[in-house]
Structure 1
Amino acid sequence: MKYFVVDAFTDKVFEGNPAGICVMDEWLPDDLMQKIAIENNLSETAFAVKEKDGYRLRWFTPGNEIDLCGHATLATAYVISNYYDLNIKTIKFHTLSGELVVVKKDDLYEMDFPSRMPEVFPLSEQMIEALGVKPVETYLGRDLMFVLEKEEDVYNASPDFSKLANLPDGLGVTITAKSEKYDFASRSFFPKLNVNEDPVCGSAHCNLIPYWAKRLGKVEMVARQLSKRGGTLYCRYDGDRVKISGSAALYSIADIRIK
């Protein structure tokens, strides 16, 4: 089975967020896809099968299947447009989060995702101890989202991953602050899914974009993820939807020998 590794939200390898991509003729058993994700040991491995009007898309972390992943969606669109449906401009994905559309615009891939404004949530001492820094605001959507005082605090944060994994609320944890060079910056952690830090998390921006759009009074924004690899996301707030755009770079093409 052909297997691609693509770095998403960057135009060069060794930056952005690497995703494993398998575009298949038919579905493998769920437990086998999970084993492949564990073996790949990337934050996400995406599996896609062509359907009449698009592709069915599923995402697996080393821990389990999840309902939404931005960087692996972008990476899958890159693989399909360059190696399967050559020169396709619009790709429709059927997913656990509904229909997702990716439009190729020159070197960028624009994803149309659901907007998920997080709700204000009470801060606990357990959260502060896990983060190692006291946030100024706390929110909960799918993930816990902590707003820090300044960008430097996001960059320098050194959370205790075992304590993050023991927080009772949220699938993951995102920290964010206003940026000097960009509009806002963030980092994302998913130790509950065996991914301590997700280098560039597109799905977290379903929360981040509506929050920062309201706070900054802007519809279009540029975001930066401050992981060691780093990545840039071009964001647009569109009411109940958000547009997240980024570039991608191919790292490798290989064969997975499963038979």
Structure 2
Amino acid sequence: MKQFVVDAFTDEVFKGNPAAVCIMDDWISEELMQNIAIENNLSETSFAVKQGNIYTIRWFTPGGEVDLCGHATLATAFVILNYYEKESVEVHFKTMDNTNLTVKEKNDLYEMEFPSYDLKKIEITEEIIDAIGIKPKEIYLARDLLCIFDDVNDVINFKPNLEKIEKLDGLLLHISAKGEKTDCVSRSFAPKLNIAEDQVCGSGHCHIVPYWTKILNKTDIIAYQASARGGTLYCRLSKDKVIISGKATLFSESKLNIKE
């Protein structure tokens, strides 16, 4: 089986968020996909099989399968459009829950259309303050937990206590503040998925972008993920969809020595 590793949301290797991508003729077992993800030890490994004109896509972290992943979708589209379907400019995906995703190549960007999460404002509890070590301005919950800070430096200098964060509600924890050079700055943590910090989290911005579009009263958001690797996301809120665009670059291409 061939595997690609792509750095997403960047045009430089060693930056952005790396994802492994396997384009297959037929599905392998869930156990094998999970073992490959564990062996890769990246935040995401994506698997895709073409059925008609649509690729069914699945994403596995070292800690299990997830229902949505932005950077690995971008990476998968990059691989398909550059190595499998060079004449095409868009890829149609279907998830396991029958959600349709489309990625379009536009100049040097790959544009993805994702569902927008409906944020519910929740109480700031002592448990949350203790877990993150600082009192946030506001907290919202959807699939993930979103904490808003007043000072961007609190986001940049944040030192997570992963053991405590793992006990909070939500699949991931995102922290965000208004940016100085970009509209917002964020970081994402996923100890429940055996990921300390997600370097650039596309699905996280399906939470982050709806918040900042409302606060800043604008539909177009330039977002920066302030992880060690860093990455920029060009986002737009369109009704119940979040349009996320980013760059991508190939790090490696290899053959996996595995048997079903």
**How far apart, CA to CA, are the structure 2 residues paired with 1:96 and 1:185?**
31
* Alpha-carbon distance in 2 for matches of 1:249, 1:156: 28
| 1:54 to partner: Cα distance | 1.4
Cα deviations by residue, 1:136-160 (Å, 9 ceiling, x for unpaired): 1000010110001111110011110
Q: How does 1:213-228 map to 2 (within 5 A)?
A: 213-228=213-228
Secondary structure of the residue that 2:78 maps to in structure 1? helix
Find the residue that maps to 2:102 and give its secondary structure: strand
Return the alpha-carbon distance in structure 1 between the equivalents of residues 24 and 4 of structure 2: 12
Q: Which residue of 1 aligns with 2:113?
A: 112
1:1-259 alignment, distance < 5 Å:
1-96=1-96, 98-167=99-168, 169-259=169-259
Give the distance between the partners of 1:147 and 1:209, measured in 2 at CA: 12
Shift of 1:96: 3.5
Amino acid at match of 1:157: F
Contact residue 68 and residue 96 of structure 1 kept, 8 A: no
Contact kept in structure 2, 1:12 and 1:249, CA below 8 Å? yes
User: TM-score by structure 1 length?
Assistant: 0.98
CA distance in 1, matches of 2:61, 2:137: 30
RMSD between aligned residues: 0.8
Gaps of 5+ in 2: none
What is the alpha-carbon distance in structure 2 between the residues aligned to residue 197 and residue 130 of structure 1?
15
Q: Which runs of 4+ in 1 moved over 2 A?
A: none
Q: Secondary structure at the match of 1:127?
A: helix
Per the normalisation by structure 2, the TM-score is 0.98
Q: C-alpha offsets along residues 193-212 of structure 1, whole Å, 9 cap, x if unaligned?
A: 00010000000011111111
- Contact residue 3 and residue 256 of structure 2 kept, 8 A: yes
Distance in 2, Cα, partners of 1:221 & 1:65 = 29
Residue 132 of structure 1 and its aligned partner are, at CA, apart by: 1.4
Q: Alignment partner of 2:48: what SS?
A: strand
CA distance in 2: counterparts of 1:254 and 1:72, whole angstroms: 17
Give the secondary structure class of the aligned counterpart of 2:229.
coil
Equivalent-residue separation in structure 2 for 1:10 and 1:126 (angstroms): 36
Checking the alignment, whether the CA contact within 8 Å between 1:8 and 1:17 is kept in structure 2 is yes
Quote the Cα distance in structure 2 between the aligned partners of 1:89 and 1:54: 14
Deviation at 1:89, TM superposition (A): 0.7
Structure 2: distance between partners of 1:123 and 1:35:
38
Identity %: 56
Whole-Å separation in 2 of the counterparts to 1:70 and 1:197: 15
CA distance in 1, matches of 2:37, 2:54: 23
Cα deviation, 1:204-229, whole Å, max 9, x if unaligned, reads 01111111111100011100000000
Shift of 1:87: 3.0
* Cα displacement (A) at 1:117: 3.0
CA displacement, residues 97-133 of structure 1 (integer Å, 9 cap, x when unaligned): 5000000001100000001131101111111111111
